Amino acid sequence: MSETSTGPWLVAGLGNPGPQYAGNRHNVGFMVADLLAERMGGAFKSHKASRSQVLEGRIGTPGVDSTRVVLAKPMSFMNVSGGPVASLLDFYKVDLSRLVVVHDELDIPYGTLRLKKSGGDNGHNGLRSLTKTLGPDYHRARFGVGRPPGRMAVADYVLKDFSGAERKELEYLVDRTADAVETLLTAGLERAQSTYNS
């Protein structure tokens, strides 16, 4: 599935801006976006109109199978990320069906990856903001972080860094999620799901 007249894809990694949040579970979307930017050989630049960091380029094999993509990290806080993503869709003339949101997911175990299109927000504040602003019909790359232990509040859990044990696998899992996003963009959702959904 190469580029069509519907324009580029928009891949939005969700997170919270600022160094104090960089290693948080809630920021895994930023981690995946950073790796994709590295693979694309570019650097994020400020896009003031959308309050985002943006990189334009191509993903996939150069030539026939490469796909135009706008990679973005909204610089608003997670719970108001709908506004910046809506602005990016409008600015780059991207159809909602070509939006991929990369985010942490409490309802699946750590190390599990699930790709899907549409659905609810499962209590995720970033997805709630996006769906309220755009509707639910966008792709999601859901990076499992598991449920908080004991009675720990969800907000405390997602705003903590990955544990030492989790960090041993984190680089591999971020790499695998980036692979899955690339496959979704270049080969379609079904291929990506059959290869990467666990």
Q: Give the residue numbers marked as catalytic.
A: 26
Helix (H) or strand (E) holding 174: helix 164-187
Cα separation, 182 vs 62, whole angstroms: 13
Instruction: Return the SS3 of 128.
Output: helix
Cα–Cα distances (Å) from 137 to 92, 111, 130, in that order, read: 18, 25, 10
Euclidean distance between the first and the last CA atom of the chain, given in angstroms as a whole number: 23
Paired strand residues for 58: 68
Q: Which of the 8 DSSP states describes residue 7?
A: B
Cα–Cα distances (Å) from 45 to 67, 88, 95, 112, 165, in that order, read: 20, 13, 22, 31, 33
Nearest Cα residue to 98 out of 46, 137, 143 = 137
